[in-house]
Chains A and B, each alone.
Chain A
Amino acid sequence: MDASLILRVSAPLLLWVPAIVSLYLLIRGHNEPGGGFVGGLVASAGLVFFVISRGRQAALRVMRVPPAGWCGIGLLLAAGSGLLAWIDPAAGYLTHRWWFPDVGFKVPLGTALLFDVGVYLTVIGTITAMVFALVDED
């Protein structure tokens, strides 16, 4: 496909800036607006620009794992994060656990983050899978 020169040159920028913003949204999502879902959408927006301007093969190289794989890893991560709940046998599936390791200040770490990362990856996988399927280049 022939994308405009402007789009082709700015493609890496349009890929990596949303990617970094999406990670920021993902991490802060528990306390401020953001989270895995919207983070995933922002990251996929970057990937969609990239595939439109540089083609599917280039986008697949950037992603390393094909979209279906992103979906699978995301689903496994989200579903698996709930299993840790059974460290306490009485807890139900997907009851998140929290740890607060002290590194000068207390870092809140919870399985909820793992779950949100799972959502993030699944959203990216889903949207890129659909867009890649629409963009034919053979």
Chain B
Amino acid sequence: MSIAPSLALGLPLGLGLAGAIAATMMKRGVAQAGAAVAALAFLLYLLAAPGVTETTDLRFGFWSVPSLGVVGGLRLDGLSLVFVLLITGIGALVLLYASRYLKGDTRLPRLVTLLLIFMVAMLGAVTADDVVTLFVFWELTSLASFFLVAYDHEKPGARKAALQALLVTGGGGLALLAGLILVAMAAGTTSLSGIIAAREAVLAHPAAIPAMLLVVLGCFTKSAQFPFQFWLPNAMAAPTPVSAYLHSATMVKLGIYLLARLNPVYQHEAFWQELLTTAGLLTTAVGAIYALRESDLKRVLAWTTVTALGSLTMLIGLAPALSATAAVTFLLVHALYKAALFLVAGIVDHETGTRDAAALGGLRRAMPLTALAAVLAALSMAGLPPFVGFVAKEIIYEAKLATGGAAGLFASIGFLVNAAMVAIAGLLSWRLFFGPLRPTPATPHDPPKSMLAGPILLAGLGLLAGAAPSLVGAWLVDGAVAAMLGAPAAVPLKLWHGFTPVLALSAATIALGLLLLLAWGRLMPRLRRASAFDRFDTARLYDRALAGLVAWAEGTTRLVQHGSLRGYMQVLLLVAALGPLAVLVARGGLDLPEAAPLDFRALAFLPIALGAIAAAVARGTLAAVMATGLVGFGTALVFLTFGAPDVALTQFTVEVLLIVILATVLIRLPVRARDVRTGRQRTVDAAVAGALGLSVALVLLAVLAAPFDPRLGEWFGAESVPGGHGRNVVNVILVDFRALDTLGEIAVLAIAAFSVIALLRASGRGARVGS
């Protein structure tokens, strides 16, 4: 059975959006309804899955901007399928879990709305078939993450973490935007499949390396790669369902997704391979070390997520086929066990009132089903047979050993990191649930089914998938690997590889991991005290950069916004004076028009000159206003005598209004009897005013010297009556030929009016106008 692409690709987004809106209005059962929406989306994608294989995909174009050459749309191929199933499946379980976890919290509808918006954004990002759609949804996930991390916004820590996550991923997003634009320009298309098809052109472009670096920067920030890893553990300020969903299973893998998606373009570039493997390897090591320094369950899990993300980045950078298969398999495995463990950590926190690993133990009797889920997930994390984690770990070791020259380095760092993961897995299952029971703030027992469903189902899937790896391979992995490499090439997945060096490595990993687990109680505090790790933490760079930015902003604000009205006016007028003069000079100096004979109309300029002089020498402000009014009336007189009665009429009315309003305001101000400027200030002001006057005069002369093009005026004159049924050309232009401009102008007028009202009200001086 299969369904139409428009349904499979469009409907989940529509459903999610409708659910997000509905959630804001619901009082009860909101999280359950959200879970149902996500489950329905999961089902739709499942129905579409048969249409997606190594060589076929589903496409659904729903928007385009032909004038910009942008053809937007959605596409579901093997790689996207893996992601959409994870996003909707885990989404449904997490929402179900949240219905109990945050029971009675009045902010639950808000959380569900944000989670559904996030789900839609993720689905859009991983099914986008063009870089524009991809980027829009990508940024939307960052925004959703910001609001979700800041869920407890009354806590300063949550606000800081949310801002940090937003700044790091948002900054990366800017780099990504620049990179994607460069790549799309090089490829001549915004379509992702088009970019992959045009890989030669993309690589041959002069800006190919900067473009690639920018894209990689975007992916690294999103997926918390070294040196941007620090935001992820801090994002644990979010409620546990959010951490399980966004910050382990889905959002942080978006960077991995894009790296995998663009891998067909860059896979044979040595620089790409080196960049990804180096960053990935460093990230795994950093994640593993920091994970051993923490005792807060969620932060421990967050650091192991960093390690996992590093592994994925590294695998994408390693040689093809084997490592691509390993990457996709590990991606699935990790999403299953990590989401399960996060949900378990949430249950433990919820039931016992603490999530400090050092203070917990022996919970097995109190919460047996939770313990079962934790053990199943932890065994998969530790990579023990017959769990799918074992399959993934084996193939990762194989991929590392197949790298040739650097195999030793990869395998040995991988070995140590994996041992740390085994130790953490033991910590989260053995230490937490077995051994002596330690007293906790609350008396724990198993939570209701809706909270247990998620972890048990996810952990159980890990076992099932491990038992039948070839099935998973054929159904999900092969298609994704084909998308990552540009051609079908997956290596078959097997649980049992026989007695190979890899198996021995696995056994040694587990042995070392168990040793680490036994020593954890002593090792963790010692590692935590080692200040060297704090000193080299890249979070410090972030803090310093942010503090520097704020200081710089303060400095420039003090410089530019000094608060002196005269200063502002001087700057504005000088720019207005020097700008046109600079243009004149750049165009080759002054042009003078031919002299025309004087006639009586020149008299109309007399009031302007008189008014200007009077304004300059006036002692009081009111007198100066009156004098400038005279300038305005003189200007209107000029318009009148030179045949622009319409403009003259408007000018007269505006002058009247201006003087009346200014006088009204001035009468209310504490009147300054005398000019308080010093002689020097007056000289400066006179110079600025003179410069502006000179500049305007010279520019006007230059304008008059240029030959006059009468075509527009003639056309309007000829078309006014037949086209606009009016003899007043000015008015016909305003209301007919250029009506859209006028509409915009009156809209601006109204906005200006409202701004004035708001401004005067805010300053406490305004009267209520709306009443």
Is B656's CB within 8 Å of the partner chain A? Answer: yes
Write out the residue numbers on chain A whose beta carbons fall within 8 Å of the beta carbon of B650.
37-38, 41
Q: Separation in Å of the A11 CB from the closest CB of chain B?
A: 13
Closest to B740 in A: A94
From 667 to 712 in chain B, residues with beta carbon under 8 angstroms from any chain A beta carbon are: 668
Closest to A28 in B: B728
Q: Which residues of B contact A79 (CB under 8 A)?
A: 743
The residues of B that contact A118 with a CB separation of less than 8 Å are 746
7 interchain residue pairs of minimum CB distance: A30-B726, A41-B653, A71-B750, A129-B753, A126-B753, A122-B746, A31-B727
Known: A34-B649, A119-B735. A68 touches B769 (CB 8 A): yes
Interface membership of A135, Cβ < 8 A: yes
Give per-residue flags for A103-138: 1 if the beta carbon is below 8 A from chain B beta carbons, else 0: 000001010100110110011011101111111111
Interface residues of chain A, those whose CB is within 8 Å of chain B, are 25, 29-38, 41-42, 44-45, 48-49, 52, 56, 66-68, 71-72, 74-75, 78-79, 82, 93-94, 96, 98, 108, 110, 112, 115-116, 118-119, 122-123, 125-127, 129-138
Which residue among A38, A41, A52, A118 has the maximum number of chain B CB atoms within 10 Å of its CB? A38
The contact string, 1 if C-beta is below 8 Å from chain A, for chain B 615-653, is 000000000000000000000000000000110011001
Stretch at the interface among B32-40, B286-294, B760-768: B760-768
Q: A134, B747: Cβ atoms under 8 Å?
A: no
Q: A122 contacts which chain B residues (CB < 8 A)? A: 746, 749-750
A45 touches B656 (CB 8 A): yes
**A44 CB to nearest chain B CB (Å):** 7
Q: Is the CB of B727 within 8 A of A32?
A: yes
Residues A133 and B769 in contact in the complex (CB < 8 Å), given A33-B728, A48-B660, A79-B743? yes
In the complex, the answer to whether A134 meets B664 with C-beta atoms within 8 Å is yes
B742 beta carbon closer than 8 Å to chain A:
yes
Tell me, in angstroms, the Cα distance from A126 to B753 when the chains sit together.
5
**A96/B739 in contact, CB under 8 A:** yes
B746 A30 Cβ-Cβ under 8 A: no
- Nearest residue, chain A, Cβ from B741: A94
Chain B contact residues (Cβ within 8 angstroms of A): what range? 35 or more
Give me 22 A-to-B residue pairs in the complex whose CB atoms sit less than 8 angstroms apart, sorted by A's number: A30-B731, A37-B650, A37-B734, A38-B646, A41-B650, A41-B654, A44-B657, A48-B661, A52-B664, A68-B769, A75-B747, A82-B740, A94-B739, A94-B740, A108-B725, A110-B725, A112-B726, A112-B732, A115-B743, A125-B750, A125-B753, A133-B757
Given the known A-B contacts A96-B735, A112-B735, are A137 and B767 also in contact in the complex, defined by CB atoms under 8 Å?
yes
Which residues of B does A touch, CB under 8 Å? 645-646, 649-650, 653-654, 656-657, 660-661, 664-665, 668, 724-728, 730-732, 734-736, 739-740, 742-743, 746-747, 749-750, 752-754, 756-757, 760-761, 765-767, 769-771
Q: Specify which of B653, B656, B752, B760 lies most central, judged by the most chain A CB atoms within 10 Å of its CB.
A: B653
Asked if A82 and B725 make an inter-chain contact with CB atoms under 8 angstroms apart, the answer reads no
Structural contact, A33 and B743, CB atoms closer than 8 A: no
Interface contact tally, CB-CB below 8 A = 160
Which applies to chain B's interface (DSSP): helix, strand, loop or mixed? helix
Residue of A37, A96, A137 near B736 (CB, 8 A) is A96
User: CB within 8 A of A38: which of B649, B665, B732?
Assistant: B649
Shortest CB-to-CB span from B670 to chain A, Å, is 15
Secondary structure of the A side of the interface?
A: helix
Please determine whether A48 and B728 come into contact, CB atoms closer than 8 angstroms: no
In the complex, what residue of chain B is closest to A72 when comparing beta carbons?
B750
Q: Please pick, from A29, A75, A112, the residue contacting B746 in the complex, using a CB distance under 8 A.
A: A75
Residues of B within 8 Å of A74, CB to CB, are 746, 750
Given contacts A122-B746, A129-B757, contact A135 B734 (CB under 8 A): no
Contact A93–B728 (Cβ < 8 Å): no
* Residues in A whose Cβ lies below 8 Å from that of B664: 48, 52, 131, 134-135
Find out whether the CB atom of B735 lies under 8 angstroms from the CB atom of A36. Answer: yes
Q: Min CB distance, B158 to chain A, in Å?
A: 39
Closest to B667 in A: A1
Neighbouring A residues of B757 by C-beta, 8 Å: 68, 129-130, 133
Q: How far, in Å, is B84 (CB) from chain A's closest CB?
A: 40
B661 and A134 form a contact (CB under 8 A): yes
| A134 to B739 alpha-carbon distance, docked (Å) | 31
A136 touches B750 (CB 8 A): no
CB distance from B638 to the nearest CB of A (A): 16
Q: For residue B731, which residues in chain A have a CB less than 8 angstroms away from its CB?
A: 29-30, 34-35, 116
Nearest-neighbor residue (CB-CB) of A132 within chain B: B769
Pair B653/A119 contact, Cβ less than 8 Å:
no
| A75 pairs with B736, CB closer than 8 A | no
Asked whether A71 lies within 8 Å of B646 as measured between CB atoms, the reply is no
* Contact in complex: B747, A30 (CB < 8 Å): no
